[in-house]
A and B are shown apart, each in its own frame.
Chain A
Amino acid sequence: MSQKIKDATIPTIPLGARIQRWIGRNLIRIYAIFAFTYLFIPVAYTFVFSFNDAGKSNLIWQAFTFKNWQNPCGAPEVCNALGNSIKIGFLATFFATILGTMIAFAIGRHNFKGRSASNLLIFLPMATPEIVLGASLLSLFLVFKINPGFWPTVIAHIVFCISFVVVTVKARIASLDPRLEQAAMDLYANEFETFRRVTLPLVAPGIAGAALLAFSLSFDDFIITNFNSGTLTTFPKFIYVSAARGIPAQANVIGSAMFFLALALVIVGQLVNRRKVR
Chain B
Amino acid sequence: MAKASIDARGDLRLTRLTKTYGDFTAVDDLSLTIQKGSFFALLGPSGCGKTTTLRMIAGLEEPTAGSIHLGETDITTTKPYQRPINTVFQNYALFPHLTIFENIAFGLRRRGQKDVKEAVEKVLNLVELPHLAQRKPTQLSGGQQQRIALARAIVNRPALLLLDEPLGALDLKLRRQMQIELKWIQKEVGLTFVHVTHDQEEAMTMADTIAVMNEGQIEQMGSPADLYDNPETAYVANFLGQSNLIKGTISGNDGDSLVVDLYGQKISLPKSRSHAVDNSTYAGIRPEKFRISLLETPVRGNVLSGGRIEDVSYIGVSTQYQVEMPWGQELMVFEQNDDGVAPFNKGDAVNISWEPTFTFALRGDEDVTAGSEVQPEDLDEE
User: A: which residues have CB within 8 A of B?
Assistant: 177, 179-180, 182-190, 193, 197-198, 201-202, 276-278
- B3 cross-chain contacts in A, Cβ below 8 A: 190
Among B92-100, B119-127, B303-311, which stretch is in contact with chain A?
A: B92-100
CA of A188 to CA of B110, assembled, Å: 6
- B89 cross-chain contacts in A, Cβ below 8 A: 179, 182-183
A210 to chain B, nearest CB (A): 18
Whether B95 pairs with A180 at a CB distance below 8 angstroms is: yes
As a 0/1 sequence over residues 71 to 99 of chain B, the CB contacts with chain A under 8 angstroms (1 = contact) are 00000000111000111010101111100
Whether B107 pairs with A187 at a CB distance below 8 angstroms is: yes
- Determine the main DSSP class of A at the interface with B: helix
Beyond A186-B80, A189-B81, 12 additional pairs, beta carbon < 8 A = A179-B91, A182-B80, A183-B87, A184-B106, A187-B86, A188-B2, A188-B110, A198-B95, A202-B96, A276-B97, A276-B136, A278-B136
B136 to chain A, nearest CB (A): 7
**Interface size classification for chain B:** 20 to 34
- A277 cross-chain contacts in B, Cβ below 8 A: 136, 138
What are 30 A-B interface contacts by the 8 Å CB criterion?
A177-B93, A180-B95, A180-B96, A182-B80, A182-B87, A182-B89, A183-B93, A183-B94, A184-B95, A184-B106, A185-B59, A185-B79, A185-B80, A186-B80, A186-B86, A187-B81, A187-B86, A187-B106, A187-B107, A188-B2, A188-B5, A188-B107, A189-B2, A190-B2, A190-B79, A197-B106, A202-B97, A276-B136, A278-B136, A278-B139
The reply on B274 being an interface residue by CB < 8 A is: no
Whether B58 pairs with A186 at a CB distance below 8 angstroms is: yes
CA of A193 to CA of B95, assembled, Å: 14
With contacts A180-B95, A201-B97, A277-B138 taken as known, whether A186 is within 8 angstroms of B110 at the C-beta atoms is no
For B149, give the chain A residue with the smallest CB separation. Answer: A183
A172 to chain B, nearest CB (A): 13
CA of A30 to CA of B86, assembled, Å: 56
- A183 cross-chain contacts in B, Cβ below 8 A: 87, 89, 93-95
User: B: which residues have CB within 8 A of A?
Assistant: 1-3, 5, 58-60, 79-81, 85-87, 89, 91, 93-97, 106-107, 110-111, 136, 138-139, 152, 156
- B5 cross-chain contacts in A, Cβ below 8 A: 188
Whether B87 pairs with A186 at a CB distance below 8 angstroms is: yes
For B112, give the chain A residue with the smallest CB separation. Answer: A188
A117 to chain B, nearest CB (A): 23
Whether A190 pairs with B81 at a CB distance below 8 angstroms is: yes
A220 to chain B, nearest CB (A): 33
- A182 cross-chain contacts in B, Cβ below 8 A: 60, 80, 87, 89, 93
CA of A225 to CA of B97, assembled, Å: 40
- B79 cross-chain contacts in A, Cβ below 8 A: 185, 190
B61 to chain A, nearest CB (A): 10
- A276 cross-chain contacts in B, Cβ below 8 A: 97, 136
Q: Residue among B95, B138, B156 with the most chain A CB within 10 A? A: B95
Whether B87 pairs with A188 at a CB distance below 8 angstroms is: no
CA of A188 to CA of B85, assembled, Å: 9
